[in-house]
A and B are shown apart, each in its own frame.
Chain A
Amino acid sequence: MGAFAALGQARPVAAKGAVRQAARAMASAADSAVTIDLGENVFDGYNIDVPSSKVTMSREDLVGLYREMQVVRRLEMAADSSYKHKLIRGFCHLCTGQEAVPIGVESALTKQDAVITAYRCHGFTYMRGASPFGILAELMGRKDGVSKGKGGSMHMYAPGFYGGNGIVGAQVPLGAGIAFAQKYRGEAACTVALYGDGAANQGQVFEAYNMAKLWDLPVLFVCENNKYGMGTAASRAAANTDYYTRGQYIPGIRVNGMDVLAVRQAVAYAREYAIANGPIVLEMKTYRYGGHSMSDPGTTYRTREEVQHMRSTSDPITGYKHRLLDNGVATEDELKAIDKAAKKSIDEELAKAKAIPEPAAAELWDDVYVKGAGVPYLRGRVPEETHYFN
C-alpha cells in the first residue's frame, strides 16, 4: 500500500463510504501515481529498441482503463444477445477478448491523432467518443445511431475515427493517406491504422508500407493478431507469422495484446517515434472468444477447450484486475462495483436504444453527397426507384 502513504491531508467531506475511500477519491493525480512493472518479455523489437517495461500512471487512470474495458465487454455482450434476438441483423463482428487493444491504443493517443480500423470496430468507436447508446442504436439500425441508423456494425464513425470498414485490408492504405494529410498539414499527430492477421497478407498493405516509408509518414501499422483469419489459422495463411517483421524496412514491435498497459506503453512509444521519424509496425498478440462474426460459431476451426483456456488464463480484464489488486491500486469491492455499474449502464443504454424508431425511408437518399456537391438524381436498386432531388 506504499502508493497511499503519500496521500497528504484527507479533506473532510461527507463522502459515501469509509473515510479512507473518500480520501482516495479526493487524492490528486500527483499524489497517487503508481509504477507497475510489466515483467520481462512483454515486447519484442525488430530493428528498434523496445519501450521500457515500467509503467507509471495515476490511480484514477489505472482504474479508468479497467472501467473502459468492462464497458466494452458488456457492450459486446449486449450486441451478442441482441443479435441472437434478431434485433441486430446483417454483419456483427465482436471484439470480446480483445478489449485491451482499443482501450490501450486510445489511452496513448490524443484527440488530434486519427484511428482507422476494419469491422471489429465497436470498441474503437466507443473509445473515440461515441456513446454506447449511439453504438447500440446504430447496430439495430435506429435513427439516433452514430451513422443515423444507415451504416450498421461496419460503418461507424466518430471524431478522428475513420471507421468501421468492410473491405479486408482496404483501411490500411487509407490510414497511410490520413497520416500523409497530417504530415502535409504540419500536425504533430499520428494515424493508427489497424488490421488483422488475415489482412496482413494483402498486397495493398505492402503498398501502404512502401509509400509510408518512402515519405516518412507518421503512421502506426497495428496488426491485431488473434491467430485466425475468419477460420484459417495464421500458420496456414502466412509464410511469416511474425507480423511485426513484415514491414521489412519498417521497424516493428510485438506486444502482448492481452495486457492493456503493455498496449498503451507500446503505442505511446510508437507514436513518438512515428511523429519524429516515420512509420512503425506494431503486432498485438490477442485472442477473440467469439467467432469471426455472429454467423460463425467459432468452434469449427478451434476447440472449445482452447477458447475456454484462453478465457481462464489470459483474459485481459481478469488479468488486469489481478494486477490492480496485487499492486494495491484498487480493492475487490471497488472493481465489483465498477462491473455492476458497467452492466447497469449498458443495460440502460440498450433499453433506450431499443425504444428509438428506425430512420424514415426518405432518408435513404440523404448523406450520399456533401451538400452543394450533389447530383440531380440518384438511382435505386431498380429503375423504378430513381429519386430526383428538387
Chain B
Amino acid sequence: YPEHQVVGMPALSPTMTQGNVGQWQKSVGDRIEPGDVLVEIETDKAQMDFEFQEEGYLAQILAPTGSKDLGIDSPIAVIVEDAADVSAFADFSLDAAKSAAAPAAEAPSAPDAAAAPAQAAPSQPTPAAAAAPAAGDGSRIFASPLAKTLAKEKGVDLAQIEGSGPRGRVIKADIERFVASGAAKAAAAAAPKAVAAAAPKAAAAAAPAPAVAGVGFTDIPLTNMRKVIAKRLTEAKSTIPHYYLQQSIAMDNVNKLRQSLNTAANGAYKLSVNDFVIKAAASALRDVPDVNSSWQGEFIRQNHHADIAVAAATPAGLITPIVKTCDAKGLKAISSDVRDLVTRARANKLKPEEFQGGSFTISNLG
C-alpha cells in the first residue's frame, strides 16, 4: 500500500477510554484541510467533533457510523497525502493495522496512595506500603490526618481500630487508647496493593452489536447514554435512603390562572401546567431549604437556589436538563427555558453543565 496514515480513535476527553462513531462528515476521496471535522465521536461525556489537524485525502473509512465501544487508538480511518492514492485503499483491511482494541489503559481509579504513574507499569512497586487503603474491597478507612500520622508513628494498623469520631472516623483518642491497651504489635501493613492496582484494565473489545432478533424476543442494543442512566439510577436507588409521599392537588385555580395568562399573552408565550409546577416547587424550595439539599456522604449540601431538572424523553434515552435559579425566574422565563432545553435535548445539543447538577427533579408523565 502507498504511504498512508492510519487514524485511530482519539481521546477527546482526559477520562475517555472508548467511544462510539457518529456521523462521518467527510466521504472517501474528500480533501481534508487542517481543522476540518472528520467525524462526530460519542465520548463518555458528550458528542464531540473530531477535528483533523493535517491535510490530506480520506482514503478509507475503517469504522462506519454506528460502530460502538471502540477503544482509544482503534483504527477508524486511513488518510493519504495524494489524491491519486485513494483508490489503492478500496479494499484495505484491518489486519495490516495492528489492532489497538485492547488498550493498555491504566486504571486511573487505582486507589493506592503512592499513585503509580501512567502507562509502563513501574518496574519497582513503590515500597512505601500504603497502610491506609483497605485491601481490595474499595472502602476507605476514615481517619483524621492527625490519627493517621499518629498511627504511622506508633506502627499501628488503622484497619484494626474502631473509630469513635463522627461517622465512625478514627481519631487520635482511638489510637492512643489502642496503644495503651497494649495491642501495639499490629500486623505489618498489607502487602503493597499498588502493584495489583497497576495491572492494566482490559477494556471490552469492540464488538458492535446490532439488534439481535430471536424466537420470541428481540435484543435491543444500548446506547452509552442508556448504560450510564441505568448505572446511575441503580446507584442512587441502592445508596440513597428513599421515602415516598403522595398528595392529590386540585388544580382548578391554577388552570384558571393559566388560561387567563395565556389569553393575555397574545402569542408571546404559552404556559403549560408543568411551568406552574416548576414555579411552585421553586417557591417551596426557597421556603423550606431542608428539602433543597443533597446528601454528600460527609455532609449535607443545602443549596441556595432552586435549580430544577425537568425530565425529558429523547430518542436516545431520558435526560434531565436543568432550569437554573427557578426561584428568581418568572413563569414566562421558566416556560421559555424549558422549551429551549427540551428542544435541544431532543437534538442532542445540550452542554454538560446543562444536565449535570440540579437539586430537584420533576417528571411529568403527561
Partners in one complex: yes
A-B contacts, CB under 8 A, total? 70
**Interface flag for A307 (CB, 8 Å):** yes
In the complex, what residues of B have CB within 8 A of residue A358's CB? 117, 119-120
CA distance A361 to B124 in the complex (A): 9
Stretch at the interface among B128-136, B241-249, B307-315, B327-335: B128-136
Interchain CB contact under 8 A, B124 and A86:
no
Known: A83-B11, A308-B35, A357-B120. A385 touches B145 (CB 8 A): no
Which interface residue of A83, A380, A383 has the most chain B CB atoms within 10 A?
A383
- A76's nearest neighbour on chain B, judged by CB, is B53
Residues 338-359 of A, flagged 1 when their CB comes within 8 A of B and 0 if not, give 0000000000000000000110
Q: Which residues of B (101-136) have their CB < 8 Å from a CB of A?
A: 105, 113-114, 117-120, 122, 124, 126, 128-132
Q: Check B113 against A381 for contact (C-beta < 8 Å).
A: yes
Q: In the bound complex, what is the Cα–Cα distance between A374 and B286 (angstroms)? A: 56
CB of B29 closer than 8 Å to a CB of A: no
Tell me whether B82 is interfacial, beta carbon within 8 Å: no
* A80→B145 contact, CB < 8 A: no
Using known A-B contacts A299-B49, A382-B132, determine if residue A84 contacts B117 with beta carbons closer than 8 Å.
Answer: no
Is B177 among interface residues, defined by CB-CB distance under 8 A? no
Cβ contact within 8 Å between B34 and A311: yes
B72 touches A86 (CB 8 A): yes
User: With A85-B10, A85-B73, A307-B35 known to touch, is A383 a contact of B53 (CB < 8 Å)?
Assistant: no
**Chain A contacts for B154, CB-based, 8 A:** none
Task: Give which listed residue, B54, B126, B145, contacts A361 with CB less than 8 A.
Answer: B126
Q: How many residues of B contact A (CB 8 A)?
A: 37
Contact of B53 among A77, A141, A307, A380 (CB under 8 A): A77
Compute how far the CA of A160 lies from the CA of B131 in the bound complex, rounded to whole angstroms.
45
Q: How far is the CA of A81 from the CA of B14 in the complex (A)?
A: 14
| Contact between A382 and B148, CB atoms less than 8 A apart | yes
Residues of the B chain whose Cβ atoms lie less than 8 Å from the Cβ of A89: 14, 118
Residues of B within 8 A of A96 (CB): 53
B226 interface residue (CB < 8 Å to A): no
B8 within 8 A of A: yes
A41 at the interface (CB under 8 A from B): no
What is the CA–CA distance of A83 and B8 in the complex, to the nearest angstrom?
Answer: 12
- What are 27 contact pairs spanning A and B, CB under 8 A? A77-B53, A81-B53, A84-B11, A85-B10, A85-B73, A86-B11, A86-B72, A86-B105, A141-B117, A295-B14, A297-B12, A297-B48, A300-B351, A308-B33, A308-B35, A357-B120, A358-B120, A361-B117, A361-B122, A381-B113, A383-B145, A383-B148, A384-B114, A384-B130, A384-B132, A384-B148, A385-B114
A-B pairs, top 6 by smallest CB distance, nearest first, are A84-B10, A383-B149, A86-B11, A77-B53, A80-B53, A382-B113
